[in-house]
Structure 1
Amino acid sequence: MKFREIKTRLENVLAENEDWLCELALKIHQEPEISFNEYKTSELLVCQLLNNGFKVKTRLAGLPTAFLGISRKDKSHPAIGFLAEMDALSGLGHACGHNLIAVSSLGASIVLRKAFPSLKGSIELIGCPAEERGGGKVIMNNAGVFDHLDFAMLIHPSNRTEIYKLSLALVEIELVFIGKSSHASAAPEKGINALDALVQTFNSVNSLRSRLSGHSRINGIITDGGKAPNIIPDRARAEFWVRDESLDRALEYAEMVANSARASALAIGAKARVKIRQELAYAPFVPNRTAGAVLWEIYERIGIKLEQGDEKAEMGSTDLGNLSWRVPALHPTIAITPGREVAPHSVEFARASASKQGLEAMKKAILAMALMGYRVMTDSNLRKKMKAELREKRKLK
């Protein structure tokens, strides 16, 4: 079947469904839910899957909001997975556009299935909680949720449209300092100030920055600094995120942060409880360039203007990184703020995620993903090449 005929069939089905898809994206935007609490969002997506003939499994990997929608009764090959990220940012709502990601992946799954009901293989929508923090896909990946897939993808809203964007490994650290409370004015000498140990840790971490490589990042916040100014804090808590292009280096820097905390506590007689969450570490994302070349052509043929820049510019982190070392995967972007540099994780980006431009970009993403899904499912040579590329990258890891 020629590209034009495939595209026309998908466009016709999309046109029949675009109104309710846009309404759903706005509804999710209006009711943002943070990591591991995406109950309403998950329910809305599952409801639409059931309404459109998908078989649904819930509570994947023991996660209450994770789900799998399958176009067949059972998993079959070739199997493609469209990933629906669902969580919002605390205090900012959908300032990373996950409402658009969730619905574009849902739309691609439904449109592809309806346009080509006899397509051999399995079209799957995988509901993925806690991308922003907590590593939902890391947990699901460790549980083997994605192992059967031949290909996985999502399209992420951004301020520019690119096929390739690399990401940093990420390691989370929790620090809790235990001191001794006392009256801050009448008897400060009888206390042990846990906050002092925490502040000193921040100072020590700042002194480590000269040892970091070019794309390394250490960011921290204080989540508990005491109860009142007239009480010597007997407990203080902080969270640090350590990032680097290499997971091994990120873990090395995380241990430096941990040592800074232990030394700061020891210096004043406090105790430091350190938790490096290695089991939830995000691996750096590795794009499948064989698949990327196909998607690049699709973008161009359906009129999506590419603005591919430096793949290492403005890198963040994603738990799709872990999945990308197990299954051929793509994490392209699409602009929802054309002509404007609007940073993700901002109030302005949250507004853009519910804008007319955002919804139009979502519809383009649905078409692009559906076309990509069709190509992967009908081209066995492409699947072989994608898997061969991933095998080679694993050898070099």
Structure 2
Amino acid sequence: MDKQALKNKVIETVDILADELKAISLFLHKNPELGEQEYKAAQRLIESVNQHGFSIKQNISGYETAFIASKGTTGPKIAFLAEYDALPKLGHACGHNLIAAMSLGAAVAFSAAAGNQACAYLIGCPAEETTGAKTAMASDGIFDGLSAAMIVHPSDNNNLGGTAYATHPLQVTFHGRPAHVASKTDKGINALDALVMFYSGIKSLRQTFTQETILTGIITKGGTAPNIVPDEAEAKLTIRALSSSYLENTVIPAVRKLADGVALATGTRVTAFHYEPLFKELINDKKLMDLFHKNMILLGESVTILDPADADGSTDVGNVSHAAPTIHPDISIGCNISAHTPEFALAAGSNYAQERILVGAKAMAMTAIDLL
């Protein structure tokens, strides 16, 4: 069977799967679960892919809701990544219900077309919005040896390329000594004063970096009562850069040095730790991008090609891209909508978005066919 015949088989298979994929997407949308709690979502996906003859491994890299579904033993190893966690109060405002359905459809369609010429994987990846299971999975070698890894994200446009920021969130806590604010004998050591000094210093520090850097935060603890000198004050920072190397070797050491200097100047003690793992920058594979673009055109879709340095958000897919050739394109599910908003959550459950599942699944599976 030639390549076009295999692609026609992919299209036919996804169309046959249409009702199943839409039902899975809407089930996830109506039953949103937070990261590491996606028991219903993972079970629904596992049941579906198991019915299509895939072998299942569960409890991956310490995550109960992670899984690896595979079919085939020889040829290129192509993985389609499923995300299925939701956001607090907003539900599927990032469209992970659509991502899960697209990747499942792509895996099943690619396997049906490729037969014994390739090994197809559906890899269930929990907690993208929080701890990022892909970071642990990448460290454990789950993505090593893959010929390609693909995932398509809902958006307000069809985009291809660009990158995502490397990020390593940091919690900084200053420790002082409590006292009554009116005490004449003990003025205490004000941890909040130290934190405010540190917070103010962040703005000046941000100007010293030679590469694009995002450095912002919030004060999450500033004391217990206004008549008590705060003995503990805490901030959570989001620290991002265009490369994980610059982030880890330049930006974060500078932030820690600033905190140490403030502690020395104020007589406080400071502690800091990363409350979420390192998400590396996203590297979109040029070859896969070209193939995906051509397949979107075959499907009648126009695509905006982004500059390689055009960064948008952060994702643990970045860690995958450092282990295997990866693409993370966007597919439009509406106009003028932004992720992590109530409007996006509504769009992710719309009839139009369910139809877009079929386009994303076909484009990924057709790109996998090209790799044969």
Structure 1 match to 2:224: 227
Q: Spell out, residue by residue over 1:115-162, the C-alpha distance to the aligned partner (whole angstroms, 9 max, x if none).
A: 337332211001112222323212111101111311111111122212
Structure 2 match to 1:360: 355
How far residue 179 of structure 1 moved from its aligned partner, in angstroms, is 2.5
Alpha-carbon distance in structure 1 between the residues aligned to 2:231 and 2:87: 30
Given candidates 122, 126, 138, the residue that maps to 2:123 is: 126
Structure 1 match to 2:307: 310
Structure 2 match to 1:351: 346
Alpha-carbon distance in structure 2 between the residues aligned to 1:212 and 1:102: 38
Given candidates 73, 98, 101, the residue that maps to 2:99 is: 101
Given candidates 193, 206, 211, the residue that maps to 1:209 is: 206
How far residue 245 of structure 1 moved from its aligned partner, in angstroms, is 1.6
Structure 1 match to 2:337: 342
Alpha-carbon distance in structure 2 between the residues aligned to 1:188 and 1:17: 76
How far residue 188 of structure 1 moved from its aligned partner, in angstroms, is 10
Structure 1 match to 2:25: 25
Work out the percentage of aligned pairs sharing the same amino acid.
Answer: 34
Q: Judging changes above 3 Å, is the alpha-carbon distance between structure 1 residues 354 and 112 closer, same or farther for their aligned structure 2 residues?
A: same
Q: Spell out, residue by residue over 1:49-108, the C-alpha distance to the aligned partner (whole angstroms, 9 max, x if none).
A: 222221110111222221100114xx5432110011222233433222222111111111
Structure 2 match to 1:384: none
Note the residue ranges of structure 2 that are not aligned, 5 or more in a row.
Answer: none
- Asked if the contact 2:78/2:146 (under 8 Å) is kept, the reply is yes
Q: Judging changes above 3 Å, is the alpha-carbon distance between structure 1 residues 191 and 89 closer, same or farther for their aligned structure 2 residues?
A: farther
Other structure's SS at 2:108 match: helix
Q: Spell out, residue by residue over 1:336-373, the C-alpha distance to the aligned partner (whole angstroms, 9 max, x if none).
A: 12xx3322222222222222232222211011112122
- Asked if the contact 1:254/1:276 (under 8 Å) is kept, the reply is no
Q: Judging changes above 3 Å, is the alpha-carbon distance between structure 1 residues 90 and 188 closer, same or farther for their aligned structure 2 residues?
A: farther
Residue 148 (1) aligns with residue 169 (2)? no
Residue 112 (1) aligns with residue 110 (2)? yes
Structure 2 match to 1:393: none
Other structure's SS at 1:212 match: coil
How far residue 39 of structure 1 moved from its aligned partner, in angstroms, is 2.6
- Asked if the contact 1:294/1:372 (under 8 Å) is kept, the reply is yes
Query: What is the correspondence of 1:179-218 to structure 2 with a 5 Å cutoff?
Result: 179-184=176-181, 190-213=187-210, 215-218=212-215
Residue 319 (1) aligns with residue 316 (2)? yes
Q: Judging changes above 3 Å, is the alpha-carbon distance between structure 1 residues 93 and 233 closer, same or farther for their aligned structure 2 residues?
A: farther
- Asked if the contact 1:165/1:331 (under 8 Å) is kept, the reply is no
Given candidates 87, 90, 113, the residue that maps to 1:89 is: 87
Say how many residue pairs are matched: 371
Structure 2 match to 1:165: 162
Other structure's SS at 1:257 match: helix
Note the residue ranges of structure 1 that are not aligned, 5 or more in a row.
Answer: 379-397
How far residue 203 of structure 1 moved from its aligned partner, in angstroms, is 0.7
Alpha-carbon distance in structure 2 between the residues aligned to 1:260 and 1:188: 31
How far residue 189 of structure 1 moved from its aligned partner, in angstroms, is 5.2
Q: Judging changes above 3 Å, is the alpha-carbon distance between structure 1 residues 359 and 230 closer, same or farther for their aligned structure 2 residues?
A: farther
Alpha-carbon distance in structure 1 between the residues aligned to 2:42 and 2:191: 40
Other structure's SS at 2:279 match: coil
- Asked if the contact 1:109/1:370 (under 8 Å) is kept, the reply is yes
More strand by share: 2
Structure 2 match to 1:257: 255
Alpha-carbon distance in structure 2 between the residues aligned to 1:131 and 1:45: 17
- Asked if the contact 1:157/1:333 (under 8 Å) is kept, the reply is yes
- Asked if the contact 1:182/1:188 (under 8 Å) is kept, the reply is no
Structure 2 match to 1:42: 42
How far residue 202 of structure 1 moved from its aligned partner, in angstroms, is 1.2
1:108 alignment partner AA: A
Alpha-carbon distance in structure 2 between the residues aligned to 1:47 and 1:163: 31
Q: Judging changes above 3 Å, is the alpha-carbon distance between structure 1 residues 186 and 84 closer, same or farther for their aligned structure 2 residues?
A: same
TM-score (norm: length of structure 1): 0.86
- Asked if the contact 1:176/1:235 (under 8 Å) is kept, the reply is yes
Residue 373 (1) aligns with residue 368 (2)? yes
Alpha-carbon distance in structure 1 between the residues aligned to 2:231 and 2:349: 44
Q: Judging changes above 3 Å, is the alpha-carbon distance between structure 1 residues 188 and 371 closer, same or farther for their aligned structure 2 residues?
A: farther
The worse-fitting range, judged by mean Cα deviation, of 174-183 and 19-28 is 174-183
2:178 alignment partner AA: S
- Asked if the contact 2:211/2:242 (under 8 Å) is kept, the reply is no
2:57 alignment partner AA: K
Structure 2 match to 1:298: 295
